[in-house]
């Protein structure tokens, strides 16, 4: 089921990247660098797999898809403490108030593309 979901994300990546390549007059890429939040509904391996399938026999074939996983980053609204967590956090480890706000972890971003030499 979730394969189809990463499939549409992979297609969106290809569309955006091709647009950027045209805009910058780039013909061949070495890599695409993504930031994917831990909270995003994405399995990185599925995304890589779908990207490979979609780009097969296209100009993007062989382009590496690098995924930087962004940890959940919270800022406590009570004391201002910033912290990262592997799982959802509901309590500030510094002041024990139940006021942490998720600041990072939902990213689904193409950060940059690396041009092949």
Partner 1 sequence: MKVRVVRNILEANDRIAEQNREMFDQNQLFVMNLMSSPGAGKTSLLERTIDHLKDRLRIGVIEGDIQSSFDAERIAQKGVQVIQINTQGACHLDGNMIREAVTQLDMTDLDLLVVENVGNLVCPAEFKVGEDMKIMILSVPEGDDKPLKYPLMFTLSKALLINKIDLLPYVDCNIERIREAASRLSPGIAIFEVSCRTGEGLEAWYDWLERRVKSLN
Residues forming contacts to partner 1 in the complex (CB under 8 A) are 1-2, 4-5, 8-9, 12-13, 15-17, 20, 24, 26, 33-34, 39-42, 87-88, 90, 98, 106, 108-115
CB of residue 42 to partner 1, shortest distance in Å: 8
Q: Which is nearer to Zn ion, 9 or 76 (CB)?
A: 76
CB of residue 98 to partner 1, shortest distance in Å: 8
Question: How far is 24 from 41, CA to CA, in rounded Å?
Answer: 31
* Binding flag, residue 98, Zn ion (CB under 5 A): no
Residue 99's closest CA among 81, 82, 77?
Answer: 77
Question: How far is 49 from 39, CA to CA, in rounded Å?
Answer: 20
Three-state SS at 8: helix
């Amino acid at each position: 089921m979730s394969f189809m979901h990463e499939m549409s994300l992979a297609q969106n990546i290809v569309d955006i990247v091709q647009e950027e390549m045209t805009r910058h007059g780039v013909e061949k890429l070495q890599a695409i660098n993504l930031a994917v939040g831990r909270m995003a509904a994405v399995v990185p391996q599925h995304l890589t797999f779908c990207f490979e399938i979609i780009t097969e026999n296209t100009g993007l074939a062989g382009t590496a898809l690098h995924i930087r996983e962004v940890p959940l980053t919270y800022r406590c609204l009570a004391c201002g403490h910033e912290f990262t967590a592997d799982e959802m956090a509901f309590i500030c480890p510094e002041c024990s108030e139940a006021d942490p706000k998720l600041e990072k972890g939902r990213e689904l971003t193409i950060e940059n593309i690396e041009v092949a030499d």
